[in-house]
Amino acid sequence: MTAIETQEARREPQDAVQRSKLLKAESLSRMAGAVAHHFNNKLMVVTGNLEMAMRALPQDSILSAYLEQAMQGARQAADISTLMLTYLGQMNGVHEPMDLAGICRQRLPEFKHGMPPNIEFKTDLPDPGPIVLADPRQIRQLLINLIANAQEAIGSKSGTIRLAVKTVSRANIPGTYRFPFEWEPNASRYACLEIVDTGCGIADTDKEKLFDPFFSTKFTGRGLGLPVVIGMLRGNDSGITVESTVEHGSTFRVFLTLVQEADARKPALATPAPQKAADGQTARTGKIGTMLVIEDESAVRDVITLMLQNLGLTVLIAENGAAALELFRRHRAEICCALCDLSMPHMDGWATLTALRALRPDLPVILASGYDEARALAGDHPERPQAFIGKPYDMMELRDTIEKVLGVRLTDSWTGVDQVEDPIGGLGQPEVTRGAERVGGTQIRKSGERMRRRGNHEDE
């Protein structure tokens, strides 16, 4: 057996292990992504109904504090869902050409302000720096997480953190302790963001687990900072390497693809422009038109309908694309805008959008999803929405999106729940008064229909 054959024989088991890891990671990514998406849908029901309940109570209600705490917990749960999607590389953000060293310089006052007095912070940032295609918010978060990790590694001892930006060739990117493990550098040169610390260092046995969610050598449940970093890089076809020796510090190097001048000039995918409001336009309610809501989950439909009704809009609801088309044909002249969920069985949001535009090319459409905007709107589609709204969203976000799309101003007129006295125990379950018309899985609710409480204060 020749030396080359021996080397290939040794490599085969390693390649098999690598393929197995990749397949497992892809399977877990699909599963966790679906879980996070459904989780955001359920949170939409929780936060929406909490908001409606909070708005229905008198300002001095003793129940308000309990509902506010529940809302804070639900929002924190939504943040964790976002972190999980980021870890999976499914929160890509909005990318734009940017000077990597320049964005670091913009954040220097923030980093220096939060630096403990025992740590010296040094920089090596060229001007101009390498141009990369990235989301500035994600780069800022990546810097915050890596610098925070370096600070924790130094602890209360005296130490140094150095932030540097440079360009490197593909040949100079190490093949060991490179993450995510499926990333392979294909470009000839990369922008390199380097963070060096003189902290406690990392044991070799911990390096492979360093970017696992909640992995920490400190205590269980800690450690989403570095997994979020790896997720941002996974969503940007980028990578990171780790060099570290126990008691001798660590070096983290992030590799981002350089943007060529021609790539920087490429226009973004066009989105239809929203309608413009006339100057001096006054707030209007109940006269704008009818919203067509297309959503396959009934609980989500209910809370969206309540929000829209309390913005003064008449609402038509459909549980799938086919029912939406039937409703649209019957109420074409009344419908001013459609709010459509992206992930639906049989006929998804894109297919529904295309079919609606075939009936009326100028119909304003808002797409909604539990995924982030860049991922949800990715791909080549024959029709584009006027706007996107990410779940879970609140009534203010919904109002702002509709106002932007339609060029109007909506008045928040709370009519969804009767105002009643609020002694403890007098608050019963809400009862939604249904509309009069049902059309093959659809239901029409008129503006001004009211939701009454069942309990000690029922109408007599």
Per-residue confidence (pLDDT) for residue 218, from 0 to 100: 54
- Residue 284 in domain: no
Is residue 192 located within the same domain as residue 335?
Answer: no
For the chain, the three-class secondary structure string (H helix, E strand, C coil) is: CCHHHHHHHHHHHHHHHHHHHHHHHHHHHHHHHHHHHHHHHHHHHHHHHHHHHHHHCCCCCCCHHHHHHHHHHHHHHHHHHHHHHHHCCCCCCCCEEEEHHHHHHHHHHHHHHCCCCCEEEEEECCCCCCEEEECHHHHHHHHHHHHHHHHHHHCCCCEEEEEEEEEEEHHHCCCCCEECCCCCCCCCEEEEEEEEECCCCCCHHHHCCCCCCCCCCCCCCCCCHHHHHHHHHHCCCCEEEEEECCCCCEEEEEEEEECCHHHHCCCCCCCCCCCCCCCCCCCECCCCCEEEEECCCHHHHHHHHHHHHCCCCEEEEECCHHHHHHHHHHCCCCEEEEEEECCCCCCCHHHHHHHHHHHCCCCCEEEEECCCHHHHCCCCCCCCCCEEEECCCCHHHHHHHHHHHHCCCECCCCCCECCCCCCCCCCCCEEECCCCEEECCEEEECCCCCEEECCCCCCC
Is residue 124 located within the same domain as residue 219?
Answer: yes
390 pLDDT higher than 60: yes
Is residue 252 located within the same domain as residue 307?
Answer: no
116-155 per-position pLDDT tens digit: 899 999 999 998 999 998 888 888 888 988 998 899 889 8
Is residue 76 located within the same domain as residue 102?
Answer: no
Is residue 226 located within the same domain as residue 327?
Answer: no
172-206 per-position pLDDT tens digit: 998 888 888 778 888 889 999 999 999 988 888 78
Is residue 314 located within the same domain as residue 350?
Answer: yes
- Residue 278 in domain: no
249-308 per-position pLDDT tens digit: 999 999 998 987 435 434 444 456 555 544 444 444 445 789 999 999 999 999 999 999
**Residue 133's CATH number:** 3.30.565.10
Last residue of a domain, one of 63, 87, 111: 87
314-354 per-position pLDDT tens digit: 999 999 999 999 999 999 999 999 999 998 988 999 999 99
Is residue 333 located within the same domain as residue 188?
Answer: no
**Residue 24's CATH number:** 1.10.287
- Residue 358 in domain: yes
Higher-confidence residue of 401 and 226: namely 401
**Residue 310's CATH number:** 3.40.50.2300
- Residue 459 in domain: no
Is residue 222 located within the same domain as residue 73?
Answer: no
Last residue of a domain, one of 32, 61, 87: 87
415 pLDDT higher than 90: no
Last residue of a domain, one of 248, 264, 280: 264
Domain range spanning residue 252?
96-264
Per-residue confidence (pLDDT) for residue 260, from 0 to 100: 72
Per-residue confidence (pLDDT) for residue 399, from 0 to 100: 92
349-388 per-position pLDDT tens digit: 999 999 999 999 999 999 998 877 777 787 889 999 999 9
- Residue 281 in domain: no
Is residue 112 located within the same domain as residue 252?
Answer: yes
- Residue 212 in domain: yes
* Number of domains making up the chain: 3
